[in-house]
Structure 1
Amino acid sequence: MKTNFLYMAVAAALLAGAGALQADNTVYPGFKGKLVESKGRKVDKFDDAALAQSKYYAIYYSASWCGPCRAFTPDLVRWYKRNKSKNPQFELIFVSSDRSAEDMAAYMKEDGMDWPALAFDNKKDTPGLTKYSGRGIPCLVFIDETGKVLSDSYVDGKYVGPRKVLEDMEKILKGGGAAGTSSSSSTSGLDSLKKPAN
């Protein structure tokens, strides 16, 4: 009887451990079917099925009318092109604060955003992506598949900017471990990004 109990206890522990290793992706269902991608000066539906397997998501809150956003976006485009192919378990998603769907599409095209975006008309019914935004833009937030924030442009209510998040993403995606949201921001090139634009 003790042997059966021991086997059952070990089996339960193994099953619990396996469940912990395979955490459910709670982020993907919140935006499933609501993403678009740049197709010239228009956007078209994005096939997001592969994103169900993603372990990490970065959410980029930005707009074409925002000067600091326009200054940062080319750096983010370069970072994405350099890192995306090495990190298939990661995806970046753009959430626009533009004034129209046309403005959003033009911004994505002009700046070469090769990543998906939340469809302009889906912002109000997609709290799974919009809930992470800070008080101003540009704002970059890095989360895992369970929605846990790993790095944010805002730390304890203070704007530290998206470059800090890029640095943290680089470390985490290279296996350097989870970044704390209290780490300090690199100040090189951040002068134009210190204050969020509204």
Structure 2
Amino acid sequence: PVQNKARVEAAMEVTSDKPATGAWNWFGDKKAVFRPGEYWQPHQKVTVDLHLAGVQAAPGVYGVQDHRIEFEVGREQITEVEEDAHSMTVERDGEKVKDFPVSLGMVTTRKYTTTAGAHLVMSRERNVELTNGTLGVSKDDPRYYSEIADYAMRISWSGEYLHSAPWNPRVGEANTSHGCINM
């Protein structure tokens, strides 16, 4: 576990073909993620130099070697969701690719509201189990549900996904989900 986060951050350097400012964000005390202030410019190389050899991460804990990570930013893909129109538009490199009818979270209950603002796709899963057990509903409660969603893309650690929802007859008409974006 890293206790000296500022020291470790100072030893990590991110450079890109098209310079970007950003900051490190810690998830617990073992994982740091760099997020640029704006979206990465597409189609460029990024290098992460971890100058950690000899850096004290915690009392008695030191980095043993440096490490370099190189990657290329892919295409630009921006998806915009219009809550009132129950629609989602996908653009790639500035060109419209597709429109989808969607259903967002019910605003009748705060915990079922889809959060607004910019989101990043954190993972893609072929199948994911969605359950309101994560919201405190027990399996013996008649309101309990468990569904397998295909083509799920996580957009938050609190359980929000974009996913298929063949069980939702109101996709494109009304916001009836428990916070996810149904397609």
Give the TM-score normalised by the residue count of structure 2: 0.26
Q: Which has the higher contact order (CA 8 A, sep 6+)?
A: 1
Q: Report which of the two has the higher share of helix.
A: 1
Q: Report which of the two has the higher share of strand.
A: 2
